[in-house]
Chains A and B, each alone.
Chain A
Amino acid sequence: MKFIPNSIIKESMLKEIELHTIDELFSDIPKKIRINNLNLPDGVSQQEVEKRLRKLGKKNKSFSEMPSFLGGGIKPHYIPAAVKSIIARSEFYTSYTPYQPEASQGFLQAMFEYQSMIAEITGMDVANASLYDGATALGEAALMCNRIKKRKTFVIPKNISKDKKCILKNYTKGTEITIKEIAYDTKTGKIDLDDLKKNIDDDTTGVYIENPNFFGVFEDDVDEISSLVKEKQAVFVVGVDPIALGITKNPGKYNANIVIGEGRSLGNPMDFGGSGLGIFSCKHEFIRQIPGRIIGLTEDSDGKRAFCMTMQTREQHIRRGRATSNICTNEGLCALAAVAFLSWLGGSGLEKLGRINFEKGQRLAKKITSIHGFEKVFCGVHFNEFVIQCPDAAKLHNKLLSNGIQGGLILDDFSPDLKNCMLFGVTEIHSDESIEKLVSILKEET
């Protein structure tokens, strides 16, 4: 079974087109570079492959075997069976980008609904149909700022993930933009407003903040930040966790121009970090500059409602070297999971989910900080991640691990002043038992 139906009739097919051997089909490849075959193992049966993969799977410890309290921008969330069943429809997942709208109305409508929901929760006017992940969305946002307002610097806070900083640097390498990092207040964990003031000027193309930020802390000085950005007529970019939007104001309310984020938590598994879902939305005025695909509502020749990809002149397949981005294949199926997830939850469900995550974050932090030797590093109000100063993070990590628990993310290499700090994350999916187990092991540490 090699998924090649014509394998058994190739001789007769060759004859039909007046050829004798398969080799003739490859006669245009110069002899010197022709090979006879690859040096790979022989193919194996499906049954055997399944057995091997089970073995490989056993070399991992999944969340179901080993509860994990890792923060760092990716955490497990509950995925309703309904969502899994929707994205398992092979009419969806085996389809290509909907170049022929008449044959792809289903996916197109779903993406239109995805755009609608993302615009709703971010408070923007439009959203695209996904980028690779939240981190590359930041890169694209910086490039978009530079198209909107060609200036010299793009301002980011220091308290975003190292991955994002590095990706941003790579995405802007082809431009003249330099990246400026704003310090954070070591007490609150929020952006240092004075430092921000000093660093926004007439050279600033855009300013990025994250809500909640990498430390899990909410940036609540959004009105001040927003007016600082507007004063210099820079573009205001906000990164969000869509689950937190269940309880927080959407960034449109504090005058963000572009809202981005990692959308994996909306119905997609962790998948070892990939695939992700890059959320990208903006205000109407910047729509011509948006990267990626956009689905629009229109009519067919009978005047019936129909959907299609639109404003394609921004895109690489039309505009080539002058496109707003090089993105082609995006994260369509992850966006489908997100829209299915949000439909299943409804607005009320998302509000509730935000609340549960917030409350669980508060409760776990309280439990941990009630243990002698464990302290919350930042006093700013946090969501479902928070930073804890531990007696000895490495030792604790190993101890937890030997007890079948993956502790928080050790922040040693994030910043030297965060020695022995762990970034904990918790969601609706963590059981009371696993939380109690974590807490009891932490207690033994003191």
Chain B
Amino acid sequence: MYRSAVYDEPLLNELEEKRNNTYTPVDVLPSSLQRKEKINIPDLDETQVIRHFFRLSQMNFGIDSGMYPLGSCTMKYNPRLCEEISRWDSFAMTHPYQDESTIQGNLQIMYELEQLFCEITGMDCFTLQPAAGSQGEFTGLLLTRAYHESHHDFERNEIILPDTSHGTNPASATMAGYKIIEIPSTKEGTVDLEILKKTLSSKTACFMLTNPNTLGIFESGIEEIAKIVHKAGALLYYDGANINAIMGKAKPGDMGFDIVHLNLHKTFSTPHGGGGPGAGPIGVKKKLETFLPIPRITKKKDTYYLNHDYPKSIGKIKAFYGNFSVLLKAYIYILLMGRDGLKESSEIAVLNANYMKKKLIDSEKYDLPYKELRKHEFVLSCERLQKEKGIRALDIAKRLLDYGLHPPTIYFPLIVKEALMIEPTESESKRTLDEYIKALIRIADEDISSVKNAPSNTPVRRVDEASAIKKSLLTWTSLQEK
């Protein structure tokens, strides 16, 4: 069983023994800009620094520590080879403005990666520029605007999305200047075609959808959805956060999606890095190609170019060409997996999810609202436990930590009460899945207080998030001033 180390590790500034407070200004600088006093960052020895961060690392759960089944996050194993290669000087020590003749390797990788994504998603062309999924969404919506405007259609100021959508979808829509219309899902947990039809109008710019959706349910009506969205003159956007469910089984391009983003830090195994960096490439159908960000990568004979010559392009949304180090890892991953590997990833991700789902429903401790068959993830409700024992999803999450297990995503999607959103991914062995299932079943039967008072086997016990807001201690200076 995983056990975290426990340290009372001081803050770096608390490690400092003695400050040297003299500072000599750089007098050739204009006096209005000269620094006059020392920077208040402790001067420590490397031994202290390494020990500090080493200890912190030992109080941090990663996918290497154990199963990390955060729904919607696709926490799969991060192959070491991808890490190692991405650190080679030949890639890491290249400058984005070097002469094109000296970066042919990078450009070839990016060019080929675009092709690979086109095949995986069924789209016509890709840009690798967006830094993460949500920036991919934002970019996709800028393309949407450019597309409608190029048709002299300036009325379309609404984005429709289902109530199961991820928070970044509406946030990106707002940022792109759109009004959001959220539509309720059916009793099956899928898009309500009748409501969608009624909501679509000459004001709709785009309908944003993930498929399978965030409940893990495949939108089987997708062809009809695409038809009515297009009939209304709107575009169909694919939030590709969940594409780990369908690689080699179906392509968003064939489903009728016009714009697709991928989260390379989910499906394509690049590590999350404790929050990032990620990459959120987007693919589009031909009709949107001219608007894609620049530079595009083009190939003539055997030479690759950074091509800026796209007058209708929306320009740039991020400095340079995207998070190259992340792109490189995804490229390596796809080479390793190949066609059968990617397909099997999806197959086993779905098998693992349905295996867990079945065992957990059969336990009769948890309920599965909405349709039965799920793809790579499923969302349980522990509302029953809440009613019977007052145990909430949050409590279960914290109790799992006592078993050395990382909790699933909780309270999302919003339409499931007391939601536990579980995505095991293909990386986990049956043994691990069984252990997790067993823990969840056991927790449901435990006495209320041990669940309510969890966790106790972690470096800190339940963290008081509410008082963090009240205290507003956000830097060590604010702590000293207290």
The yes or no answer to A184 lying at the interface (CB within 8 A) is: no
User: What residues of chain A lie closer than 8 Å to B478, measured between beta carbons?
Assistant: 125
Q: Does B337 lie within 8 Å of A102, measured CB to CB? A: no
| Interface positions of B from 399 to 451, Cβ below 8 Å from A | 401, 406-407, 409, 412, 426-430
User: What residues of chain A lie closer than 8 Å to B475, measured between beta carbons?
Assistant: 112, 115-116, 119-120, 125-127
Mark interface residues in A4-32 (1 if CB within 8 Å of B CB, else 0): 11110110011011110010011111101
| Interface-side segment among A103-111, A192-200, A369-377, A436-444 | A103-111
Q: Does A105 lie within 8 Å of B93, measured CB to CB? A: no
Between B61, B64, B341, B461, the greatest number of chain A beta carbons within 10 A of the residue's beta carbon is seen for B61
User: What residues of chain A lie closer than 8 Å to B366, measured between beta carbons?
Assistant: none
Q: Does B277 lie within 8 Å of A34, measured CB to CB? A: no
Between B42, B57, B180, B427, the greatest number of chain A beta carbons within 10 A of the residue's beta carbon is seen for B57
The yes or no answer to A202 lying at the interface (CB within 8 A) is: no
Mark interface residues in B295-312 (1 if CB within 8 Å of A CB, else 0): 000000000000000000
| Interface-side segment among B7-15, B191-199, B282-290, B384-392 | B7-15
**Whole-angstrom CA separation of A245 from B40 in the bound complex:** 12
The yes or no answer to A223 lying at the interface (CB within 8 A) is: yes
Q: Please pick, from B39, B319, B322, B340, the residue contacting A164 in the complex, using a CB distance under 8 A.
A: B319
User: What residues of chain B lie closer than 8 Å to A166, measured between beta carbons?
Assistant: 315-316
Q: Does B249 lie within 8 Å of A97, measured CB to CB? A: no
Q: Does A271 lie within 8 Å of B220, measured CB to CB? A: no
The yes or no answer to A187 lying at the interface (CB within 8 A) is: no
The yes or no answer to B206 lying at the interface (CB within 8 A) is: no
Q: Please pick, from A42, A95, A326, the residue contacting B175 in the complex, using a CB distance under 8 A.
A: A326
Q: Does B168 lie within 8 Å of A246, measured CB to CB? A: no
Q: Does B41 lie within 8 Å of A347, measured CB to CB? A: yes
Between A50, A317, A326, the greatest number of chain B beta carbons within 10 A of the residue's beta carbon is seen for A326
User: What residues of chain A lie closer than 8 Å to B220, measured between beta carbons?
Assistant: 28-30
Between B41, B137, B464, the greatest number of chain A beta carbons within 10 A of the residue's beta carbon is seen for B41
Mark interface residues in B39-52 (1 if CB within 8 Å of A CB, else 0): 11111101001101
Q: Does B247 lie within 8 Å of A316, measured CB to CB? A: no
Mark interface residues in B74-94 (1 if CB within 8 Å of A CB, else 0): 011111010101011111111
Mark interface residues in A262-292 (1 if CB within 8 Å of B CB, else 0): 1000000111111110000000000100000
| Interface-side segment among A85-93, A150-158, A229-237 | A85-93
Q: Does B38 lie within 8 Å of A271, measured CB to CB? A: no
**Whole-angstrom CA separation of A14 from B35 in the bound complex:** 68
Q: Does B340 lie within 8 Å of A26, measured CB to CB? A: no
User: What residues of chain A lie closer than 8 Å to B467, measured between beta carbons?
Assistant: 298-299
Which B residue sits closest to A166, measured CB to CB? B315
Q: Does A248 lie within 8 Å of B33, measured CB to CB? A: yes
Given A103-B406, A105-B460, A323-B171, also A97-B272 (CB < 8 A): yes
Q: Does B35 lie within 8 Å of A99, measured CB to CB? A: no
Q: Does B132 lie within 8 Å of A173, measured CB to CB? A: no
User: What residues of chain B lie closer than 8 Å to A30, measured between beta carbons?
Assistant: 220, 222-223
User: What residues of chain A lie closer than 8 Å to B359, measured between beta carbons?
Assistant: 17
**Whole-angstrom CA separation of A33 from B289 in the bound complex:** 23
Q: Please pick, from A22, A61, A62, A163, the residue contacting B320 in the complex, using a CB distance under 8 A.
A: A163
Mark interface residues in B263-283 (1 if CB within 8 Å of A CB, else 0): 101000101111111111000
The yes or no answer to A418 lying at the interface (CB within 8 A) is: no
| Interface positions of A from 136 to 153, Cβ below 8 Å from B | 136, 143
Q: Does B119 lie within 8 Å of A40, measured CB to CB? A: yes
The yes or no answer to A434 lying at the interface (CB within 8 A) is: no
> Number of A interface residues, CB 8 Å?
196
Q: Does A61 lie within 8 Å of B49, measured CB to CB? A: no
**Shortest Cβ gap from B59 to chain A (Å):** 4
**Shortest Cβ gap from B111 to chain A (Å):** 11
The yes or no answer to B242 lying at the interface (CB within 8 A) is: no
The yes or no answer to A297 lying at the interface (CB within 8 A) is: yes
User: What residues of chain A lie closer than 8 Å to B34, measured between beta carbons?
Assistant: 247-249
Q: Please pick, from A40, A220, A340, the residue contacting B30 in the complex, using a CB distance under 8 A.
A: A220
Given A6-B429, A7-B348, A25-B351, also A331-B30 (CB < 8 A): no
Q: Does A273 lie within 8 Å of B29, measured CB to CB? A: no
Q: Does B355 lie within 8 Å of A269, measured CB to CB? A: no
The yes or no answer to B138 lying at the interface (CB within 8 A) is: yes
Q: Does A173 lie within 8 Å of B276, measured CB to CB? A: no
**Whole-angstrom CA separation of A305 from B12 in the bound complex:** 14
Q: Please pick, from B44, B97, B105, B218, the residue contacting A59 in the complex, using a CB distance under 8 A.
A: B105
User: What residues of chain A lie closer than 8 Å to B43, measured between beta carbons?
Assistant: 346-349
Q: Does B343 lie within 8 Å of A94, measured CB to CB? A: no
The yes or no answer to B102 lying at the interface (CB within 8 A) is: yes
Given A17-B355, A95-B62, A332-B273, also A271-B426 (CB < 8 A): no
Q: Does B36 lie within 8 Å of A249, measured CB to CB? A: yes
Q: Does A29 lie within 8 Å of B334, measured CB to CB? A: no
Given A96-B73, A102-B458, also A13-B355 (CB < 8 A): yes
Given A76-B93, A306-B463, also A99-B274 (CB < 8 A): no
The yes or no answer to A132 lying at the interface (CB within 8 A) is: yes
The yes or no answer to A360 lying at the interface (CB within 8 A) is: no
Q: Does B92 lie within 8 Å of A269, measured CB to CB? A: yes
Q: Please pick, from A44, A103, A343, the residue contacting B12 in the complex, using a CB distance under 8 A.
A: A343
Q: Does B40 lie within 8 Å of A120, measured CB to CB? A: yes
**Whole-angstrom CA separation of A280 from B275 in the bound complex:** 16
User: What residues of chain A lie closer than 8 Å to B459, measured between beta carbons?
Assistant: 102, 105
Q: Does B104 lie within 8 Å of A59, measured CB to CB? A: yes
Q: Does A298 lie within 8 Å of B468, measured CB to CB? A: yes
Which A residue sits closest to B62, measured CB to CB? A94
User: What residues of chain A lie closer than 8 Å to B49, measured between beta carbons?
Assistant: 82, 86, 340, 343-344
**Whole-angstrom CA separation of A279 from B151 in the bound complex:** 38
**Whole-angstrom CA separation of A14 from B355 in the bound complex:** 8
**Whole-angstrom CA separation of A150 from B414 in the bound complex:** 32
Q: Does A270 lie within 8 Å of B319, measured CB to CB? A: no
User: What residues of chain A lie closer than 8 Å to B469, measured between beta carbons?
Assistant: 296, 310-311
**Shortest Cβ gap from A104 to chain B (Å):** 6
**Whole-angstrom CA separation of A301 from B458 in the bound complex:** 12
Mark interface residues in A303-340 (1 if CB within 8 Å of B CB, else 0): 01111111100011111111101111111111110001
| Interface positions of A from 208 to 253, Cβ below 8 Å from B | 211, 218, 220-223, 245-250
**Whole-angstrom CA separation of A82 from B98 in the bound complex:** 28
Q: Does B407 lie within 8 Å of A100, measured CB to CB? A: yes
Q: Please pick, from A136, A332, A347, A348, the residue contacting B274 in the complex, using a CB distance under 8 A.
A: A332
**Shortest Cβ gap from B37 to chain A (Å):** 10
User: What residues of chain B lie closer than 8 Å to A88, measured between beta carbons?
Assistant: 83
**Shortest Cβ gap from B416 to chain A (Å):** 15
Given A3-B77, A170-B142, also A63-B95 (CB < 8 A): yes
If A7-B348, A43-B337, A309-B465 are given as contacts, then 6 extra A-B residue pairs at C-beta distance below 8 Å, sorted by A number, are A3-B76, A27-B373, A44-B338, A91-B65, A95-B272, A397-B99
Listed A/B pairs (26) with beta-carbon separation below 8 Å: A13-B355, A38-B343, A59-B108, A64-B89, A82-B50, A96-B272, A100-B398, A100-B407, A107-B275, A120-B475, A132-B276, A135-B319, A163-B320, A171-B175, A246-B35, A275-B326, A276-B320, A298-B463, A307-B463, A326-B134, A330-B277, A331-B273, A333-B276, A333-B277, A358-B29, A406-B95
What are the 5 A-B residue pairs with the smallest beta carbon separation, nearest first?
A174-B177, A43-B338, A273-B320, A332-B275, A333-B273
